[in-house]
Amino acid sequence: MERTTVLITGCSSGIGLGLAARLAADSTRRFKVYATMRDLAKGERLLEHLGSHCPDTLEVLQLDVTDPHSLAAAVQRVQEQRLDVLVCNAGVGLMGPLETCSDQAMKTLFDVNFFGAVRTIQAFLPAMKRRRAGRIIVSSSIGGLQGLPFNAVYCASKFAVEGLCESLAIVLRPFNIHVTLVECGPVHTSFLANLQCPDPEGSELEGLDAETRGLYRRYLRHCQSLFRDAAQEVEDVLPVFLEAIVSLCPPLRCASTQLLAPLWRLRLGSPDGSAYVRAMHDFVFGGSEVSGDQP
């Protein structure tokens, strides 16, 4: 049986690691997986995930989506194979009041989340178009569908990814190339631990007004309870990616959770946006118009 060749970015942890391990360990051996990551030293986690053996269904490659030379090297390595599925999963986060987000932090986030996806697709798309076949699966977020408080820059990057993929899907239809966005909610990964997130009591917020600082404290408490009560495990999210890989006609969008679906429907049903803004404020901050915590 001919194997489906899959290349995944961002495999050092979380969803990328879990998906690479799941595909490489598939009992039917129907996948050949190129698991890529910026730092190859972290590849040990993937091998540990698979146990004591390293199957011939897996190859770990260095790939930094912010480095064109690294991308070119990965393309060179894979070009002897027919790449059937490209999974753009590499991503970073940035949380906090907008006033505290530095230019450099915002540029870095966009360089990975948006331009990294663009570069990766650009690198592998020509070969897919020549074969008139392929799948591009992109890790998105519920933050790519709706604005989330204190995640303005992260949401902006994911909104950009959503627009990129929706536009691309229209053009790639005649080429038999399917584009799928997987919109995830809170997932128990190292993403949150690695998130750039200022301490509400730290010096980074020194010049911030008291009302915004209070809202930020409340938001962080909201996040803690959300992750405690509603976050998914990586294993719960993987079936959505697997379905996009094997489905005869995968959708443009699929969600791994229905956590904020009522708010998303409200956003669609209220074109001027005001009902959504009120509802999201109430959901996060408890429905009070009062500033909340004071320093």
- Residue 173 among known ligand-binding residues: no
- Residue 13 among known ligand-binding residues: yes
Whether 31 and 23 have beta carbons less than 8 Å apart is answered as yes
- Residue 3 among known ligand-binding residues: no
Whether 238 and 229 have beta carbons less than 8 Å apart is answered as no
CA distance 284 to 176: 42
Q: What SS3 state is found at 182?
A: strand
- Residue 10 among known ligand-binding residues: yes
Q: Which amino acid is at 35?
A: A
- Residue 36 among known ligand-binding residues: yes
CA angle 132, 25, 63 (to 5 degrees): 60
- Residue 84 among known ligand-binding residues: no
Backbone angles phi, psi at 122, to 5 degrees: -55, -40
Whether 34 and 8 have beta carbons less than 8 Å apart is answered as yes
CA distance 91 to 109: 8
- Residue 37 among known ligand-binding residues: yes
User: So which residues are the catalytic ones?
Assistant: 154
- Residue 177 among known ligand-binding residues: no
Which residues have CB under 8 Å from 84's CB, separation 6+?
4, 5, 6, 133, 134, 135
- Residue 269 among known ligand-binding residues: no
Q: What SS3 state is found at 254?
A: strand
- Residue 227 among known ligand-binding residues: no
Q: Which amino acid is at 39?
A: D
Which residues have CB under 8 Å from 223's CB, separation 6+?
none
- Residue 20 among known ligand-binding residues: yes
- Residue 160 among known ligand-binding residues: no
- Residue 15 among known ligand-binding residues: yes
Task: Provide the annotated binding site for substrate.
Answer: 141
Task: Provide the annotated binding site.
Answer: 10-38, 64, 141, 158
Task: Provide the annotated binding site for NADP(+).
Answer: 10-38, 64, 158
